[in-house]
Amino acid sequence: MADVKRFCVADATDNIHSVLCVDRTFNTSSLFFTLTVFKHMSVVHNGNRQPPIFLSPMFLHGDGSFVTYLHFFMTLHGAQLDTDVQATEVQTLDGIITGSDEEAALIKACM
């Protein structure tokens, strides 16, 4: 969580700025799996010299409703992500910059 806050906040310096990407999987069973990822800008992959993509908070849930996503983001906020939220480069979680596809319930919960 500290790395998400370090790299994905709106006021991070350009050389370490990253976006917290949020996406829900489909057809994984009767449940949905939403994961978040970001580029860890402090390290580079040996082969391609690019920052690796790191997994961050993940969420297993039964539906894709606004209330479900709101619960997830409120839980993240409560885990010390005390920053500013706004929305495709969507800002959520108080200053954490997020990106997602155009799933309405997910975007609404981020805002």
For residue 111, the model assigns a pLDDT of 67
Q: What percent of the chain has pLDDT over 70?
A: 82
Tell me the average pLDDT across 60-79: 87
Beta carbons within 8 Å of 69's beta carbon, 6+ residues apart: 34, 105, 106, 108, 109, 110
Classify 19 as helix, strand or coil: coil
